[in-house]
Structure 1
Amino acid sequence: MTSRFTELTVDCHDPETLAAFWCEVLDFTVIDRGEGKVEIGSWVPTIEDIRARQMPPTLQFIQVPEGRTAKNRLHLDVSPIDGSTQDEVTRLLALGATTTDVGQGPDRNWVVMADPEGNEFCVLRTLAPPQK
């Protein structure tokens, strides 16, 4: 018996706004919506695909009444694929992200940011091909 990692759920106040932000960050699309929830992904999951192999998980944004009370215990890491880490940080700031300090210290090779509702995520090293 086994399970598959199929979705990561984020509690939030405004699922539509956060889904739109993360669609821009990750080049995902909305694949499902309902009352107080939006699901985004890079593909439309089917039971057959999920049973056959591990597929990339989707992100679900679920509306909840309470706010965040402490540092996230789980967060996303993203890696730029077609520009530098700093270029990606600049792009994400323009989309509504902010930089944040969670005690990471000055000697790091990643940037800690927060989405429009304050959920932390990290921008890691670039995966873009080296410039010639």
Structure 2
Amino acid sequence: MTSSRLTVESVNFDCADPERLAAFWAAATGGSVTGRYENYVFVSPPSRGGVTLYFQRVPGERSGRNSIHLDLATPPGGREAEVRRLVELGATKKWDVVGEVPWVDWTTMADPEGNLFCVGASHS
């Protein structure tokens, strides 16, 4: 069996306002807006080896929820503070999942355009 040579290089978001969404995700992840091209805005990760985020303007409204989402990790005990910080940046807290699985608790949130993501912390 041949091992995979694939790595995740970027995650792409369809959105109405790429500038606004890129600014939110740059602040949320500690990354920076590093490029613009036509209907695209790019956010580079804060450190080498991270994943670049692309935000692409698309016409019309999205029907339904996004089919993939990001799971973001914080150190044990840091989830609540991170959720508060993200709300201050423009995210919406949806719900908490605490004690459902033995290895992690998480909060499901939505970014300013309604894309769901989770903030989790493993149990110490």
Match of 1:51 in 2: none
**1:105/1:78 Cα in 2 relative to 1: closer, same or farther (>3 Å)?**
closer
Deviations 1:14-62 (A, max 9, x none): 00000000001000011211111101112698xxxxxxxxx32200000
Match of 2:66 in 1: 72
**Equivalent residue of 2:74, what SS?**
coil
Shift of 1:68: 2.1
**1:81/1:22 Cα in 2 relative to 1: closer, same or farther (>3 Å)?**
farther
Match of 1:49 in 2: none
- 5+ residue gaps, structure 1, are 46-54
**1:80/1:22 Cα in 2 relative to 1: closer, same or farther (>3 Å)?**
same
Match of 2:34 in 1: 31
Shift of 1:83: 6.4
Map residues 38-53 of structure 1 onto 2, 5 A cutoff: 38-42=41-45
**Equivalent residue of 2:109, what SS?**
strand
The answer to whether the Cα contact below 8 Å between 1:7 and 1:58 also exists between their aligned partners in 2 is yes
Rounded to whole Å, the distance in 2 between the matches of 1:22 and 1:9 is 12
Map residues 1-132 of structure 1 onto 2, 5 A cutoff: 2-42=5-45, 55-81=49-75, 84-100=78-94, 107-108=99-100, 109-125=105-121
Rounded to whole Å, the distance in 1 between the matches of 2:42 and 2:76 is 25
Q: Which runs of 4+ in 1 moved over 3 A?
A: 1-4, 104-108
- The structure richer in strand per residue is 2
Shift of 1:6: 1.6
Shift of 1:3: 3.9
**1:56/1:105 Cα in 2 relative to 1: closer, same or farther (>3 Å)?**
closer
Shift of 1:98: 0.3
- 5+ residue gaps, structure 2, are none
**1:44/1:88 Cα in 2 relative to 1: closer, same or farther (>3 Å)?**
closer
